[in-house]
């Protein structure tokens, strides 16, 4: 199996970890079933008027637009967690691999969106058609194993129902960007496992997510220590 250019948000050529037409494995069954994860928006829902794939595109546009020097994916401890944030949804980033613990504070009332694992492929970099990009993404997603998400110690069940692949979307890379490409406009398809949490109560919360790619001896583990309602 060919390793796509992006694995686990990791660009193979640059060894940079960048840790969705709606496509969802088992979508009809998942959407009709009761929500087995209270506090997590169900796969077929439209939180704040947008579907999961649409939020995945917004999330990707967020982290891709931020220069590496302040990018939340390169954040060692939470110091960059609020860079580029706005609106009703607060985005959380993955990491470059290994174990990362971040502390972050923000005001109550915001939903929280993140991906424990995923990949994206760029037009004319990884493939020359949207169909080719989708195949690039779908080729990589089965490599992920041992995926887990915990919210305040409680596991999110049936993560496979939160797997999405986006349509083609536009984004713009700044100078000194996370993927090591020339700055400018690009198009891509993103796919992965995505979680949208309803707003958490004021106070202290812990979000933890973990995944592995055994074929490449790659492990990523991220913990967010959230203080909601705390001022900076």
Q: Which structural domain range is residue 175 located in?
A: 6-91+111-144+160-199
Predicted local distance difference test score (pLDDT) of residue 125: 96
Count of domains in the chain? 1
In this structure, is the dihedral angle defined by the CA atoms of residues 44, 46, 47 and 52, taken in order, positive or negative?
positive
Residue 206 forms part of a structural domain: no
Residue 34 forms part of a structural domain: yes
pLDDT higher than threshold 80 for residue 159: yes
* Range in 12-16, 69-73, 76-80, 197-201 the model is least confident about: 12-16
Residue 45 forms part of a structural domain: yes
For residue 140, CA distances in Å to 11, 51, 94, 163, 220 come to 12, 23, 17, 12, 16
pTM of the model: 0.86
pLDDT (tens digit per residue) in 72-130 = 999 999 999 999 998 899 999 999 899 999 999 998 999 999 999 999 999 999 999 99
Mean pLDDT (the chain, rounded): 86
Token pair for residue 26? 């088992």
Residue 151 forms part of a structural domain: no
pLDDT higher than threshold 90 for residue 166: yes
Residue 99 forms part of a structural domain: no
Residue 50 forms part of a structural domain: yes
Return d(Cα 13, Cα 169) in angstroms, integer.
Answer: 22
Residue 128 forms part of a structural domain: yes
How confident is the model over 140-163, as a mean pLDDT? 96
Predicted local distance difference test score (pLDDT) of residue 17: 35
- Tokens 């609020």: give the residue: 82
Per-position DSSP letters for 131-185, written without gaps between them: HHHHHHHHHHGGG-EEEEEEETTEEPP-GGGGEEE---EEEEE-SS-TT-PPSEE
pLDDT higher than threshold 80 for residue 29: no
Token pair for residue 153? 């110690």
Return d(Cα 81, Cα 30) in angstroms, integer.
Answer: 31
Predicted local distance difference test score (pLDDT) of residue 36: 81
Ramachandran area for residue 162 (φ above 0: left; ψ -120 to 50: alpha; else beta)? alpha
Residue 230 forms part of a structural domain: no
Return d(Cα 90, Cα 93) in angstroms, integer.
Answer: 10
33 or 164, higher pLDDT: 164
Q: Taking the C-alpha atoms of 62, 126, 22 and 158 in order, what is their torsion angle to the nearest 10 degrees?
A: -80
**Per-residue confidence band for 34, with pLDDT thresholds at 50, 70 and 90:** low
């Amino acid at each position: 199996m060919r390793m796509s250019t992006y694995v686990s948000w990791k660009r193979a050529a640059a060894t940079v970890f960048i840790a969705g037409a709606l496509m969802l494995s088992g979508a009809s069954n998942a959407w009709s079933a009761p929500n087995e994860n209270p506090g997590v928006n169900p796969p077929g829902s439209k939180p704040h008027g947008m579907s999961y794939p649409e939020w995945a595109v917004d999330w990707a546009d967020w982290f891709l637009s931020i220069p590496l020097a302040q990018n939340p994916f390169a954040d060692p401890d939470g110091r960059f967690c609020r860079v580029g944030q706005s609106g009703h949804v607060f985005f959380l980033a993955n990491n470059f691999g290994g174990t990362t613990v971040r502390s972050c504070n923000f005001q109550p009332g915001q939903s929280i969106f993140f991906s424990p694992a995923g990949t994206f492929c760029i037009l004319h970099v990884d493939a020359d058609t949207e169909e080719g990009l989708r195949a690039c993404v779908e080729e990589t997603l089965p490599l992920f194993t041992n995926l887990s998400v915990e919210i305040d110690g409680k596991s999110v069940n049936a993560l496979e129902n939160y797997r999405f692949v986006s349509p083609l979307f536009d984004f713009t890379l700044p100078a000194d960007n996370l993927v090591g490409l020339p700055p400018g406009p690009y198009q891509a398809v993103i796919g992965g496992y995505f979680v949208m949490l309803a707003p958490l109560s004021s106070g202290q919360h812990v979000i933890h997510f973990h995944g592995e790619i055994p074929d490449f001896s790659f492990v990523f583990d991220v913990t967010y220590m959230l203080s909601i309602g705390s001022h900076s």
